[in-house]
Homo-oligomer: A and B are copies of this chain.
Amino acid sequence: MKEKEAKSLVKMFKALAHPNRFRLFLEIVQESEKAFEEGHDCFANAIMDKLNVGAPTISHHLKELVNADLISTERKGKFLTCRVNPDAMARLNVFFSRT
């Protein structure tokens, strides 16, 4: 494995390595599926209510997930929408399939 890919994977692991941030990620995955089926977006707002941490913390954690390339966000008016990055998932999948 290339050094660059290893570094990228480590960043993803670090992003998933905290209970609250992992739960946040799981919620986004779940909510994304539901949102897709129902034809709307996944709003950060809806997820924030489910976790027991303040808004600044959520904002901070979201930034780390984005920074690790696990998700991407887009501002829609007053709200923030989230999408899981399929490419990242694919790379993680490959890594653990070959290990």
Contact = CB atoms under 8 A, between A and B. Distances in A.
Interface of A: 1, 6-7, 9-10, 13-14, 16-19, 22-23, 26, 29, 84, 89, 92-93, 96-97, 99
B99 A29 contact: yes
A93 B89 CA distance: 11
Given A96-B96, A99-B89, A10 B6 contact: no
A10 B1 contact: no
A56 B29 CA distance: 39
A69 B10 CA distance: 18
Which one of A6, A9, A99 has the highest number of Cβ atoms from chain B below 10 Å of its Cβ? A99
A96 B70 CA distance: 12
